Amino acid sequence: MSTSSIPMYEQIQNELMEQIQSGVFQPGDRIPSEKELAERYHVSRITAVKALTELALNGYIYRVQGRGSFANPLDKHLKPSALKLGGVPKNDGEPCPVSVLIPEHADYHSGSIIQGITQTLQYPECFVHLVLTHSNQLEEYALEQALKSGCAGVILFPVDCEVYSDTILRMHLNKFPLVLIDRCFPGIQSSCVCCDNEKGGWLAVEHLLSLGHRNICFIADSSFREQVTSVRYGAYVAAMTAQQLPLHAVERFNPQTFSQEEMERLLNAIRAREITAALVSNSHAAEWLLELCQTGGIRIPEELSVVCFDQPRIFQGMEPLFTYVEQNSFEMGRRAAELLREAFETGQEHACQKLVLEPKLMIHHSTQTFVK
């Protein structure tokens, strides 16, 4: 490969494009891996990743997790996007197109975030395109479509913050206006607005301790290793350990993965007063816990006090109204919108900012003083 002022990743990308177009690689043929490209061209792994990422985003290859990259048919190749990544939207009198991607949760947290965004980025200044996601694949597709359509900026509430897609990497490398909500990607510097989850966990545990509870269980619908859950669980462990109290924890608590045996074990622990209170990682898990307790004949708060993060949905006849940690969701959305507007105004020179909002404990009817 000849030396030139063209970046190495682009040289690798161009060479592979020529090989795909000329038929060296037929549709479905495996493309050399990142490691193989790095060794062949004597470049770093990240350079090889950038080359493959550009090929994928322009439709020359598709990637299969755990298997590698493969050549696409010629009719799948895309023309380079007219959108200049990281550029400032043109002030031509047209609304600035903004994409908002948020997980498909019918809850107050997501709804309030959306309200905060849409009330800040209003027409005719901006046109907000809202996409409800429920998987990494849909999120990746929506991001690709946003870029192809000429979107000027993205506000993203990630479905999964443990891994990031090729599109996220490309946006990061090209300094595309991107603001994350609620969580951050490891290794990706981007503006982000989130809640102080550690403080929220402490507020919840301290409230239960003040009511006389000593057998408090942490319940999560995900793994304790998940980014947000791990911080909340860490606060629970720290607060309980500071009082030299026993730890009780249940992870992956949801109707799809929790067995009948596990449900009975949890109910029996509550009945035996081995657990008298619960800190629940989010409102969805709190709703499932309420349903389980109702099925098992356990009264909230008389037999189990419950605090959760975010306000659960209120259905007709649904009691009690939960005590919950309020993340100030509307403000989260509003501040994210302001950060994106700031990125538009400053262009590629804008500095990434992380805003951490203060949580509040909203005390209602799902907690009461411990009675022996």
Selection from 86, 120, 83 nearest residue 344 by Cα: 86
Q: So what's the pLDDT on residue 226?
A: 87
- Helix and strand numbers, DSSP H then E, in the chain: 11, 15
298's tokens: 């356990």
Contact 85, 174 (CB under 8 A): yes
Instruction: Using the predicted structure, report yes or no on whether residue 276 has a pLDDT greater than 90.
Output: yes
Residue 347 per-residue DSSP state: G
Dihedral sign for Cα 17, 19, 48, 35, please: positive
Q: So what's the pLDDT on residue 318?
A: 52
Selection from 152, 169, 157, 166 nearest residue 133 by Cα: 157
305-344, pLDDT tens digit by residue? Answer: 999 999 887 644 455 588 999 999 999 999 999 999 998 8
Instruction: Using the predicted structure, report yes or no on whether residue 145 has a pLDDT greater than 60.
Output: yes
Q: So what's the pLDDT on residue 61?
A: 82
Q: So what's the pLDDT on residue 214?
A: 97
Contact 312, 190 (CB under 8 A): no
Q: Is 252 left (phi over 0), alpha (psi -120 to 50) or beta?
A: left
Q: How far apart are the first and last CA of the chain?
A: 78
113-140, pLDDT tens digit by residue? Answer: 999 999 999 888 888 999 988 888 889 8
37-65 core/surface letters (b: 16 or more CB in 10 A; e: else): bbeebebeeebbbbbbbbbbbbbbbbeee
Mean pLDDT of 33-48: 87
Q: So what's the pLDDT on residue 63?
A: 67
51-91, pLDDT tens digit by residue? Answer: 887 787 667 887 665 677 888 776 544 443 333 444 444 44
Instruction: Using the predicted structure, report yes or no on whether residue 13 has a pLDDT greater than 80.
Output: yes
346-366, pLDDT tens digit by residue? Answer: 865 567 899 999 999 999 999
pTM of the model: 0.73
Instruction: Using the predicted structure, report yes or no on whether residue 199 has a pLDDT greater than 90.
Output: yes
CA 34 to chain centre: 26
Question: What's the pLDDT band for 194 if we cut at 50, 70, 90?
Answer: very high
Instruction: Using the predicted structure, report yes or no on whether residue 279 has a pLDDT greater than 90.
Output: yes
Q: So what's the pLDDT on residue 32?
A: 92
Better pLDDT: 16 or 88 = 16
- For the chain, percent of residues with pLDDT exceeding 90: 47
Domains of the chain (ranges; CATH) run: 8-76 (1.10.10.10), 96-195+330-358 (3.40.50.2300), 197-327 (3.40.50.2300)
Distant-in-sequence, close-in-space partners of 167: CB < 8 Å, separation ≥ 6: 57, 140, 143, 144, 147
Question: What's the pLDDT band for 190 if we cut at 50, 70, 90?
Answer: confident
Contact 71, 330 (CB under 8 A): no
